[in-house]
Structure 1
Amino acid sequence: MDSSVRNPTIEEMKEWDEDELLKWIQQKRSKLLEGDQLEKFKAAHISGEAFLMQAGDEEFFRKKCNLAFGVSWTLTKISAEIVGIETAGIKRNRQYREDAGMSDPASKKPRWESETDTELQMLAASARQQRERIRLEIEKLDQLPVSCPKDVVSCPNSVLQLSNPTFDTKLPFPFVGYAVPERFQVNSEDYESYWYYTGRENFVELREEFERIRHSCQRSALTIYGTRGYGKSHLLAALVCCLAAREEKIVYIPDCREFMKQPVPYIRAAALFAWADDESKQQRIMALDTQEKIDRFFQGQSDVVFVIDQLNALEEEEGDDKPTINKKAELRYWLQGIEVTGKAIHASSANNYSILNKPLKQSSNEIMYVYGGLTEKEMEHWWAQRQEVQLGDYTKDEVEDFTGRIPWFLEKCVVNGTIDLAAKFFTEIYEQAWAFEQEIQTRYYKEPGELQRHYQYMRACLFGRFIWVSSKFIPNLVDHRYFYDDKYDSERGEFEAHYTCGICRNAVASMVLENKARFDKGIWQSLPEYTTNPCVTGFVMEQAILAWILLQG
C-alpha cells in the first residue's frame, strides 16, 4: 500500500466517476487489480458513490463483481477506511447505506476502535468463506472412487485419497488473517490461499491415532514428533481440513513463532475459524481482547480440538534472553491451560526435550513418532513429478542417500532445475551436525563414561545396529534432529538405531571413528541389509577399513 496517496473525503469520492475511482485504487494498491481482475472491475462500472455504498460488504465485490476473494477483501477494507475517516466506521446493520455517512457524531467510536471492529468483521467473514471452500474440496475428495486397504479401518474416501502417495491436490489453508507459513507451497497469485499437498501413506495412521485419542478417557493429546522437514506440518494441515469439513471446532495454530508475536489476536483468528459456522459465537470471539477473556471463553466450550504446530518454537533456545525465556514459558502454560477444555494435537521437530522426557513420566500425552523420509512409493512419485530435473553428476541413489528422502531436503537439492548437493543449505546442515558432535566431545571430555555411551549409540546409528539404551534415556548425548531409534526388539531387549540422512552421517562419522572407535564383526554384519544401496554399502566398507587401519596403528 502506498501510504503517500491521500484519502479523499466522502463528499469528494461521491463525485468521482468510475475512471477516477479506478485511478485512485491503482495509486493506492498498484498490483491489486491486474489481468482478468482489472477487466472484471471495469465491467462492474463502479462509481465513487457506488463504492461508498458497498463499504464493508465483501460479498458485493466477490459475488456481484466476480472478483477473487483476496481482491474483494482488500477493496472492502479500503472502502471501510474511507467511511471510517469521517463516520467512525460501518455499523453492523449497514446503516451507512441508508444515510451515506450522516450518522450522529455523538455516537461515533474512536477511529482506531472502529477500524479494529471493521477488520474483525471482515476476518470473521473470511473465516466463514474459507471454511466453506474447505468443505467443498473435502466433499469432492469423498466422491472420488478409491479402494480401502485391508488393514485400514473403514474411513472416508478423502482420508484414503490424502494417504495415497500418487495423489496431488490443492487445499484451502485452514487459517485466516495471517500469511500462510513459508513451509507451505502457495501460488503467489492465489488470493484464496490454496496450498499444495501430496499424499502421505501415514496420513491414515494419523487420523486413526487422533480418533483413538479423542475417544480415550486417559489420553488428552497426541504429539507428532520426529525428523525436521519430514512433512509434519502438511499432515496436520490436511487433517485440520478433514476435521473442519465435518464441522468440528478446530482451533488451529499453524506457526508458534508468529503466535508468540501477537498471542491474543492469533488465538482469536483461530477461534473465528473454529466457530465459522456460528456467527453469534463469532461476535463473542471478536470481543476477546485479553488472555483472561480468552480463558473464560474456552472454559465454557466443549468438544474443542486444538491443533498446535511448530511447538518447539516455544521451547528455550540457545541465545534466548531472560524476557524471551519467560515469555515462552508463560505462553506454553497458557496454551496448556486452554487445552484442558478439549483434545489436542501437537507437532514438534526432534530435539524438543520436553517431549523427549514425557514418556518417562506419567502423562496423558500420546506420541506418534515420524522419522526418516519418504517411503518407496512416495519417492517413486517424487521422481515421476520431476522428470525434467537434471541429475547432473549424481545418481538417484546418491540423491536419496544424501537427503535421506526427507521432503524438505529433497526440495532444497533442486536448484534451477538441476540436482545440487553442494548447495549452501546442505553446507549449513553439515556444519550443524558436526558442531553438535564437537560440542559433545568438548562438554564430556572429563566424563569418559558419558562419552562411551555416546559413541556406542552413534556407532549403532551409523551402521544400523541395535542399541540397549534408547536416546530417550540419554537425551543430552544425542542430536535427535538427525539420529534416532524407533523399533524395539522385545526378544533382544534392544532398540534399532538409525541416521536420518547421508549428509549428517558423513559429518560425524570421522569424529566418532577417531574417538575410541572399536572395529568389530558387527560392522560387516550390517552389510547384507544394504546390498541394494551401493551408497550405504560403500560407506560401511570405507568406515570398516578405516577402523581397521586405526586399530593397527
Structure 2
Amino acid sequence: MEGCSGYDRESESTEAATLGQISDIESIVELPFPSLLAVPRSFQLNEDGFFKYQGRSDLKSLHDKIVNFWKNDHCVKVDIVGTIGYGKSHMLAVLVLLLLLKPIYTKYGSTPFVCYIPDFQRILFGEAAVVAILRRNIQLNMSDFSGQIHTIEDIRAVMRYHKVILVADQWNSIDGPNTECIKTWERLRSCFGTSVCVEIHGMSTNSNPHAVLPKHISQDRIIYNGGFNDDEFRVWLQHHRGIFTEHKDELALLTGKVPLLLSAFRRVYKEGDSWESVVQRVQQDAISVKNWLKLLMIFYANIDANQV
C-alpha cells in the first residue's frame, strides 16, 4: 500500500491542524502518512491515506531538538529509542510531516531535504530497492522534478545539491555486524555523500540489536519507555468511554498504558461484551500478545512487586 495519498490533496487543512492541534495532548487528529513508500503495518490508514494520531507530550521537545540542530547547522546522529508499542513510529511520522509542511531554515537560509524511510529493512532488498526508495523521496521533496532516476549515480547527481535530514525508522533491521548489513548501509551512504546533516535512527529497546549497539555511533539519544502518561491516558479514555472507563484501573495495569496494547483492547471489543470476555479475547489474539510479556516486564521493571 502506498502512503501519502492525502498529503497533496489536504495540505492546507493538514497544515492548520499541524500548527494548532498536533502538539496538543488533548486532541486526536487525522494526518496523511508522509511518504510515497509502502505503509508499515503498524499504521492503520483510512481510504484517503490518513492515520489517527493522539497528541503526545514528548513530540514538541523532539521536534524542537531536531529544528535546533538544523538551524544551527549541527551535523549529528540521533537515536530515537522506544519500547515496542510506545508509539515511536507514529511520532517519527508526525515529525516528518511537520518538517515537510513547514520547512525550517539554517542560519545560511537553506531548507532540508527530508528523507523518510519508514521501514529501513526494505533497503536490504538490493540496489534497485535503494534507488526506488530514494526516487520516491525525491518525488515527495521536489514536486517539480522531471529527471530520470534509474541508478545510484542518478541519485548522487541530485543529492549533491541538497542537505538532508534522514529519518530512518526500524533502524535495528539493518544494524547487525554481518556483511550484508554493512554493504547495504555503505550503498545508501554512497547515495548521499556528505549531504546528511541530521541523521535520526528509530529503534526499539526490546530488540537484541539495540542491546549490542555500540553507544558511540550517535551524538544524542532519546529514550521513550512504557506508554501514555496519566494525562495522555485520560484523553484516550475520553475517546473510548463505556467499558474502558468503567475498568480504567485494571486496563492501566493490564496494558501499562502502552498504546499498542490499548488498541488491542479497542480492536477486539464488541458492544455488549463483558470485561472478562474482552480480556480473554485479547490474551488469545496473536497480534496483541506477540510482545505482551516483554512490554509488561519493561514497564514494571522499577515498580515494587507488591504494588503490581
Name the residue aligned to 1:250: 114
Mapped contact 1:131–1:245 kept (Cα < 8 A): no
Between the aligned partners of 2:34 and 2:193, the Cα distance in structure 1 is 19
Name the residue aligned to 2:109: none
Mapped contact 1:134–1:174 kept (Cα < 8 A): no
Identity %: 23
Letter in 2 for 1:382: W
Mapped contact 1:306–1:339 kept (Cα < 8 A): no
Mapped contact 1:229–1:407 kept (Cα < 8 A): yes
**Deviation of residue 184 (structure 1)?**
1.2
Between the aligned partners of 1:357 and 1:316, the Cα distance in structure 2 is 8
Name the residue aligned to 2:265: 413
The answer to whether the aligner puts 1:429 opposite 2:291 as a matched pair is yes
Equivalent residue runs for 1:111-510 within 5 Å: 131-133=7-9, 135-141=11-17, 157-158=19-20, 161-176=21-36, 178-187=37-46, 190=47, 192-216=48-72, 219-247=75-103, 248-261=112-125, 262-276=129-143, 279=144, 282-284=145-147, 287-298=148-159, 300-316=160-176, 325-337=178-190, 338=192, 340-342=194-196, 343-350=198-205, 351=207, 353=209, 357-359=213-215, 361=216, 363=217, 365-389=219-243, 395-414=247-266, 415-417=268-270, 419-420=278-279, 421-425=282-286, 427-429=289-291, 433=294, 499-500=298-299
Q: Runs of 4+ in structure 1 displaced over 6 angstroms? A: none
**Deviation of residue 168 (structure 1)?**
1.3
Q: Deviations over 1:344-400 (max 9, x none)?
A: 2221111364686443x3x55311111111011110111111114468xx9422221
Mapped contact 1:251–1:270 kept (Cα < 8 A): yes
**Deviation of residue 181 (structure 1)?**
1.9
Mapped contact 2:123–2:130 kept (Cα < 8 A): yes
State the secondary structure of the residue aligned to 1:223.
Answer: strand
Between the aligned partners of 1:182 and 1:427, the Cα distance in structure 2 is 16
**Residues 274/258 of structure 1: CA separation in 2 closer, same or farther (3 Å cut):** same
Q: Which runs of 5+ in 1 are unaligned?
A: 1-69, 71-122, 143-156, 318-324, 434-480, 484-498, 506-522, 528-535, 540-553
**Deviation of residue 237 (structure 1)?**
1.1
Letter in 2 for 1:271: I
Mapped contact 1:134–1:241 kept (Cα < 8 A): no
Single out whichever of 211-220 and 300-309 deviates more from structure 2.
211-220
Larger C-alpha radius of gyration, 1 or 2?
A: 1
Letter in 1 for 2:26: T
Between the aligned partners of 1:339 and 1:410, the Cα distance in structure 2 is 42
More helix by share: 1
**Residues 275/174 of structure 1: CA separation in 2 closer, same or farther (3 Å cut):** same
Q: Deviations over 1:115-140 (max 9, x none)?
A: xxxxxxxx9xx98x855345313432
Name the residue aligned to 2:106: none
Mapped contact 1:138–1:242 kept (Cα < 8 A): no
Q: Deviations over 1:53-111 (max 9, x none)?
A: xxxxxxxxxxxxxxxxx9xxxxxxxxxxxxxxxxxxxxxxxxxxxxxxxxxxxxxxxxx
Q: Deviations over 1:144-172 (max 9, x none)?
A: xxxxxxxxxxxxx34xx212222111112
Mapped contact 1:225–1:367 kept (Cα < 8 A): yes
Mapped contact 2:164–2:195 kept (Cα < 8 A): yes
The answer to whether the aligner puts 1:537 opposite 2:303 as a matched pair is no
**Residues 390/197 of structure 1: CA separation in 2 closer, same or farther (3 Å cut):** closer
Letter in 1 for 2:12: L
| More relative contact order, 1 or 2 (CA 8 Å, 6+ apart) | 2
**Residues 218/329 of structure 1: CA separation in 2 closer, same or farther (3 Å cut):** same
Letter in 2 for 1:163: S
**Deviation of residue 333 (structure 1)?**
2.6
Between the aligned partners of 1:232 and 1:246, the Cα distance in structure 2 is 21
Between the aligned partners of 1:370 and 1:289, the Cα distance in structure 2 is 39
Mapped contact 1:219–1:365 kept (Cα < 8 A): no
Between the aligned partners of 2:299 and 2:210, the Cα distance in structure 1 is 21
Q: Which runs of 5+ in 2 are unaligned?
A: 104-111
Mapped contact 1:138–1:241 kept (Cα < 8 A): no
State the secondary structure of the residue aligned to 1:413.
Answer: helix
**Residues 135/256 of structure 1: CA separation in 2 closer, same or farther (3 Å cut):** same
How many residues were matched structurally? 284
State the secondary structure of the residue aligned to 1:272.
Answer: helix
